[in-house]
Amino acid sequence: MQAKDIMSTHVELISPETAIRDVAQKMKASEVGFLPVGENDRLVGTITDRDIVLRVVAEGKDVEECKTRDVMTNEVFWCYDDQDADEVAEYMADMEIRRVLILNRSKRLVGVVSIGDLAKIGGEQEKTGDTLREIAEAPTSEAA
């Protein structure tokens, strides 16, 4: 099974200049807690609901003035859509991340794989369980 067989394909790219209030509203409307950030046809980061809480709300920043660029995670974790799902799971465990962006071989964003997607894989349940355990037990990082 490949990443493209388990990934979620509805992924919206947002601009680093998007206001945080707009990001939060988009997350709410789409029922997601994670959005990739792109600029000039290039992935430049990700933003999570956790980033908003810890880097905006907890620090008392103004949600009207704060932009995605100000609080996003700059490191981008990705795999190719034709990579084996086990490879993707190992990468996620090694990087201690809960989501990974999926690109095609033309380096275009085509989806995202989350630990929830990995949990749905049949057949490789022991491997998936080990991966989920490693990710869940990892210290919470701001990039995840």
Q: How many domains does the chain have?
A: 1
Q: Which two tokens stand for residue 23?
A: 């990001």
Rg (CA), the chain: 15
Q: Does any domain span residue 76?
A: yes
Q: Does any domain span residue 97?
A: yes
Q: Give the distance from CA 23 to its chain's centroid.
A: 14
Cα separation, 64 vs 77, whole angstroms = 28
Instruction: Return per-residue pLDDT of the chain as tens, 144 residues.
Output: 999 999 999 899 999 999 999 999 999 999 999 999 999 989 999 999 999 999 999 999 998 899 999 999 999 999 999 999 999 999 999 999 999 999 999 999 999 999 888 888 765 556 666 666 676 676 654 444
CATH of the domain at 53: 3.10.580.10
Q: Does any domain span residue 142?
A: no
Q: What H or E segment, with its residue span, contains residue 69? A: helix 68-71
Burial of 109 (0-12, 13-18, 19+ CB in 10 A): middle
Q: Full-prediction pTM beyond 0.85?
A: no
Q: What range defines the domain where residue 59 resides?
A: 3-137
